[in-house]
Copies of this chain bind each other. A is one copy, B any other.
Amino acid sequence: MANAERIFCVAERVVAEYQKGCQLVVVLSAQGDTTDDLIKKAREINPHASKREMDTLLATGEQQSVALMSMAIHKLGYPAVSLTGSQAGIHSTSVHGSARIKRIQTDRIHSELDRNNIVIVAGFQGISRFGDITTLGRGGSDTTAVALGAALGADLCEIYTDVDGVYTADPRIVRTAQKIDVISYDEMLELASLGAKVLATRSVEMAKKYQVNLVVRSSMTAAEGTLIKEDVVVENTYVSGLALDKDVASISVIGIKNQPGMAFKLFSMLAKEKISVDIILQSIGRDKSKDISFTVAKSDLQNTLDKLMENKDRIGFERLTHDDKIVKLSVVGAGMASNPGVASMMFEALYNAGINIMMISTSEIKISVLIDERDADLAANYAHERFFPKKEPSLMDIV
């Protein structure tokens, strides 16, 4: 029954919104472990299952969600209709497993809204031009919601998640982290791509492109959440938040010949292998050789090392070293570019904490440093304290 209770919990919130007189389109993910269970079933059959068939299989998770939610809303006495991705007119590319939404044909949704139905759409899925079921990959349901928000010209797109908003740092690590009330798309994008797991980058990108006002809020509490929109008036804050990314590993390519084009050879090979590289650092060449260090996602580490070794002669290097016991700490803020002191504030905070910085990377609105994973929490707290000095906790913070 726990399952049914959770469904009714969401259904009641949906109905509460509907009662305010809104036209409502609700996008749902699969329930709980459904997707993992289906992946497990598929692996038992075929560890290298075709992506098309995986999509057909996985899409059933969301299809079940929307049907059950519609039943729950009916039970509460309100009109609702469930739509699969295909029925909702969500046309995607045919790249199974990570399709992109191409266009949304909103006729069916509009006609259901005109009949005063609450429309429940299966997230994460679409249909290709061949009529095949596709899934949108990571963050797919958020992306569905934002895309529908754009296509329908929605006043607001609310993303319900397991946290009650975007914070100045991960509250599990930094106890004094504060919820951000309003943040710009660009800042949110940096936070998202730097490891704040609240929203997938692509859904924020889409929201920015189509100017969809996003709210991130908790599915469990009634707290206000964080509004993400275009023009956030920066007042006295030039840093909006901190992000800690633990999914990082660094690789150093030692003894590369000190001649032009070597870095190109190296990184074009990695790009061809679809390996995303983040921070890149190149040593100043001593003698006739130099070293290049860069970071990749932990899950790409072994593959990257293998591919480099396979191409050892072609690229021309002596040896590889790597480190996967590191984290990336980033400070993000739209006001940063005009505040040249931010980097030094960061370095000062880490110096005060006695923390060694391994690599540094900066952009217009962020500064990232690589540090030992054992220093992660300490560094996050010191840096947060430096940029967001502790306030006396107010009643709101406690709630």
Residue positions of A touching B, CB distance < 8 A: 1, 3-4, 7-8, 38, 41-42, 44-46, 49-50, 52-54, 56-57, 59-60, 63-64, 66-68, 70-72, 74-75, 81-82, 84, 86-87, 108, 131-133
Q: By the criterion CB–CB under 8 Å, are A57 and B67 in contact?
A: yes
Q: By the criterion CB–CB under 8 Å, are A75 and B45 in contact?
A: yes
A215→B176 CA distance, assembly (Å)? 72
Q: By the criterion CB–CB under 8 Å, are A53 and B67 in contact?
A: yes
Number of copies: 2
With A82-B53, A82-B56, A132-B87 known to touch, is A46 a contact of B67 (CB < 8 Å)? no
CB distance from A227 to the nearest CB of B (A): 33
Partner of A74, one of B44, B46, B74, B84: B46
Q: Inside 8 A of A82's CB, which chain B residues have their CB?
A: 53, 56
Q: Inside 8 A of A54's CB, which chain B residues have their CB?
A: 67
Partner of A63, one of B46, B56, B70, B81: B56
CB distance from A372 to the nearest CB of B (A): 43
CB distance from A90 to the nearest CB of B (A): 13
Q: By the criterion CB–CB under 8 Å, are A71 and B87 in contact?
A: no
Q: By the criterion CB–CB under 8 Å, are B74 and A49 in contact?
A: yes
Q: By the criterion CB–CB under 8 Å, are B74 and A67 in contact?
A: no
Q: By the criterion CB–CB under 8 Å, are B84 and A71 in contact?
A: no
Q: Inside 8 A of A133's CB, which chain B residues have their CB?
A: 84
Q: Inside 8 A of A52's CB, which chain B residues have their CB?
A: 81
Q: By the criterion CB–CB under 8 Å, are A63 and B60 in contact?
A: yes
| Residue ID in chain B nearest A59 by CB atoms | B63
A367→B248 CA distance, assembly (Å)? 79
Q: Inside 8 A of A75's CB, which chain B residues have their CB?
A: 45-46
Q: By the criterion CB–CB under 8 Å, are B64 and A57 in contact?
A: yes
Partner of A72, one of B4, B46, B66: B46
Q: By the criterion CB–CB under 8 Å, are B64 and A45 in contact?
A: no
A82→B7 CA distance, assembly (Å)? 31
Partner of A42, one of B42, B71, B84, B86: B71
A82→B59 CA distance, assembly (Å)? 13
Q: By the criterion CB–CB under 8 Å, are B44 and A4 in contact?
A: yes
Q: Inside 8 A of A46's CB, which chain B residues have their CB?
A: 71-72, 74-75
Q: By the criterion CB–CB under 8 Å, are A45 and B4 in contact?
A: yes
Q: By the criterion CB–CB under 8 Å, are A60 and B56 in contact?
A: no
Q: Inside 8 A of A56's CB, which chain B residues have their CB?
A: 63, 66-67, 70, 82, 84
Q: Inside 8 A of A81's CB, which chain B residues have their CB?
A: 52
Q: Inside 8 A of A67's CB, which chain B residues have their CB?
A: 42, 53-54, 56-57
Q: Inside 8 A of A132's CB, which chain B residues have their CB?
A: 87
CB distance from A13 to the nearest CB of B (A): 16
Q: By the criterion CB–CB under 8 Å, are B68 and A57 in contact?
A: yes
